[in-house]
Structure 1
Amino acid sequence: MEIKILSDRYNPLLKRTEYRFIVDHDGPTPTFKEVKLKLAAILNANKDLLIVEKIVEEAGMQRARGYAKLYDNEEMLKLVKREHILRKNKIEEETVAEEGE
């Protein structure tokens, strides 16, 4: 999976940077979790402040377009984002107890 950032724009009112990107991949469309982790690594950003808003597959291609937002702080993130978007972007840490069950 390869991610190429097409544009970025800082929104001072909402204290966030908005990114438009392309994901080139093999096989099925990558999950939000996979894209979020890879994008956070590319941007050298805190994954908890990064929200992947959408990923749309391009018809007939192994490519998807996406939109993400990187917030300056957690307070603004919680003030602006809807709960279902936060749940979709939550990366749950696997514990040893869960692996044993």
Structure 2
Amino acid sequence: MEIKILSERYNPLLKRKEYRFIVDHDGPTPTFKDVKLKLAAILNANKDLLIVEKIVEEAGMQRARGYAKLYDNEEMLKLVEREHILRKNKIEEETAAEEGE
């Protein structure tokens, strides 16, 4: 799996960086957990402040487009993000913790 950042934009009002990216992969679409961990490593960022909002597969290709947000602090993350997005990202973090045990 290879991730290529298409655009990076800082949003000062919401205190976050917004990323659009492409994921080139073999086989099925990568999971949110896999993309989040790889993106956090590429950006050298805290995975707890990184939210992967969506990953959309391009039809007929081994490629997906995605959108992620990296917050400056946890306070803004909890204030701004919708509950279902937080749950989706939290579930992925719990899965990673269970696999590590």
CA distance in 2, matches of 1:96, 1:30: 14
In structure 2, the CA distance between the partners of 1:18 and 1:100, relative to structure 1 (3 Å rule), is closer
Q: TM-score, normalising length from structure 1?
A: 0.90
More helix by share: 2
Do 2:33 and 2:96's aligned partners in 1 also have CA atoms closer than 8 Å? no
CA distance in 2, matches of 1:100, 1:64: 27
- Structure 2: gaps spanning 5 or more residues: none
| DSSP 3-state at the match of 2:94 | coil
Which residue of 1 is the match for residue 44 of structure 2?
44
- Offset, 1:100: 12
- Offset, 1:82: 1.0
| DSSP 3-state at the match of 1:53 | strand
Q: Which runs of 4+ in 1 moved over 4 A?
A: 91-101
Please identify the structure whose Cα radius of gyration is greater: 1
Q: Percent identity?
A: 95
In structure 2, the CA distance between the partners of 1:45 and 1:91, relative to structure 1 (3 Å rule), is farther
In structure 2, the CA distance between the partners of 1:72 and 1:62, relative to structure 1 (3 Å rule), is same
- Offset, 1:14: 0.1
Aligned-CA RMSD value: 2.9
- Structure 1: gaps spanning 5 or more residues: none
CA distance in 2, matches of 1:53, 1:19: 10
Q: TM-score, normalising length from structure 2?
A: 0.90
